[in-house]
Amino acid sequence: MKLLFILLLSFISLFSSTIEHKVWDKGESLLTFFKKNHISKDVYFNLSKTDKELCSEIIAGTKYHIMINENDSIDQVLIPISEEMQIHIQKENVGYSLDIIPIEFTQFDQTISISINSSPYKDIVEQTNNKLLARELLRSFKKNVPFKKMRKGNHVVIHFSQRVRLGQYFGAPKIKSAMVEVRKRKYYIFKNEKDDRYYDEKARSMTSFFLKVPLRYKRISSKFTYKRYHPILKKYKAHLGIDYAAPTGRKIFAAASGKIIHRGRKGGYGKTIIIRHKNGYKTLYAHQYKFAKGLRVGSYVKQGRLIGYVGSTGRSTGPHLHFGLYKNGRAVNPNKIIRVTKTKLKGKVKNKFVKFVKLQKIMLDKALGENKKPLNFDSFKNNYPIEDKLGV
Ligand SMILES: [Zn+2]
């Protein structure tokens, strides 16, 4: 009887914990969050250098989840820092622990055919409810297609993959190939996985946008790594940028033209500038000694403009520039994008690409004929838990 009572009690207490869905405030850092929630600062200070840097990847406006127990204190927290990883804070017997774990999601590959009624953007959004998909499609075709000449009943066919989490789109869609019909002509684009850029059927680049190295550096002290989660070590070995070692005071230049959207401290990244560019790119310049004069949030800077000086602010072991490059909010390897200045694929890469194009074209044309409708994700709403209801 007593045992039953205890069982019953633990059953009730299990269910009296609640999950709250919150949004990360502007100006909030992990340390202010800890202070507010009575979590010891040591949890942060005891982290490795790489984990501290990853903790600086939290972006204001990010949706995160907290599980509160019956005593009104925090049991667990999940804060996404990229499309794949999240900070996981958990109550232990004494104090809290912090580790970085994968985000659970489901990925769907689909090919859809959208019949145009008013405009490609409007019709894609209406039929898929996916604004990012519409934006990415228009951006990738850009001026290469006379969208204005499209007629009612023309089609847009898109082959893409999209992550879904908690019954909603999660992260930016990845277009692998697409076709736009304008009157009787068909225009195609194909993504080359190797450099993450779009090319036409003849393997000619559709994007002229590229960056250059943002400073004169001594050596690369830390490369970009997006190493997968190690299930046994339960650790990410990720470094979402390139560290360029250079003496304090060395000039840092904007890698491409764009608008400054952050200028100030950013957790372990110290004094940081973030610039937003065309085509969904952002660049980040961390650990600066000081910023160049006359810049503020909202300033437009040209490629090559002096923006600051190398330093060691934030969590840093010596003067260096941590340079981050993001495409649609996802960290990408700057070396892959920056060093690519070719406008046409050649050799082996081209041969492989041409094979890919052939298969994709058949698939796109088939989807056009079959009028392929988008998947409906409503049915995933309930059976998709937050990391199994925070059992994690
Ligand atoms: Zn770094």
> DSSP string spanning 149-187?
G--TT-EEEEEEEEEEETTEEEEEEEEEEEEEEETTEEE
Helix extents (H) in 332-381: 334-338, 347-370
Q: How is residue 311 written in tokens?
A: 């330093």
Q: Give distance in angstroms: CA of 322 to centre of ligand 1.
A: 4
Count of domains for the chain:
3
Question: Do 283 and 363 belong to one domain?
Answer: no
Question: Do 22 and 110 belong to one domain?
Answer: no
The pTM score is 0.66
Q: Give distance in angstroms: CA of 310 to centre of ligand 1.
A: 13
- The helix/strand/coil state of 72 is coil
Q: What is the pLDDT along the chain (392 residues), one digit of tens a residue?
A: 444 444 444 444 455 678 888 999 988 889 999 999 999 999 999 998 888 889 989 988 898 999 988 888 899 999 999 888 999 999 999 999 999 998 888 888 999 999 999 999 999 999 999 999 999 999 888 777 888 899 999 999 999 999 888 777 888 899 999 999 999 999 999 998 887 788 888 888 776 555 667 888 888 888 898 776 666 767 777 889 999 999 999 999 998 889 999 999 998 899 999 999 987 889 999 999 999 999 999 999 988 889 999 999 998 889 999 999 998 888 988 887 765 545 788 888 899 999 999 999 999 999 988 888 888 766 665 555 566 666 66
Ion ligand 1 nearby residues (CB, 5 A): 243, 322
| 56 in any annotated domain | yes
Q: Give distance in angstroms: CA of 309 to centre of ligand 1.
A: 16
Q: Report d(CA 392, CA 390) in Å as an integer.
A: 5
- Residue whose C-alpha is closest to residue 89's, from 48, 52, 34: 34
Q: What is the DSSP letter of 311?
A: B
Domain span holding position 373 = 106-208+343-380
Provide the 10 A C-beta neighbour count for residue 294.
7
| 224 in any annotated domain | yes
What is the domain-level CATH number for residue 268?
A: 2.70.70.10
What is the domain-level CATH number for residue 37?
A: 3.10.450.350
- Residue 310 main-chain phi, psi, to 5 deg: -60, 140
Q: Give distance in angstroms: CA of 212 to centre of ligand 1.
A: 18
Q: Give distance in angstroms: CA of 243 to centre of ligand 1.
A: 5
| 300 in any annotated domain | yes
Question: Do 348 and 263 belong to one domain?
Answer: no
| C-beta separation of 254 from 302 below 8 A | yes
Helix extents (H) in 171-256: none
> DSSP string spanning 192-246?
ETTTTEEE-TT-BBS-------SS--SEEEE--EEPPPBTTTTB--EE-SEEEE-
Q: Give distance in angstroms: CA of 320 to centre of ligand 1.
A: 8
Relative orientation angle of helices 131-141 and 120-128, to the nearest 10 degrees: 150
Q: Give distance in angstroms: CA of 342 to centre of ligand 1.
A: 28
Q: Give distance in angstroms: CA of 53 to centre of ligand 1.
A: 7
Question: Do 332 and 352 belong to one domain?
Answer: no
| C-beta separation of 272 from 57 below 8 A | no
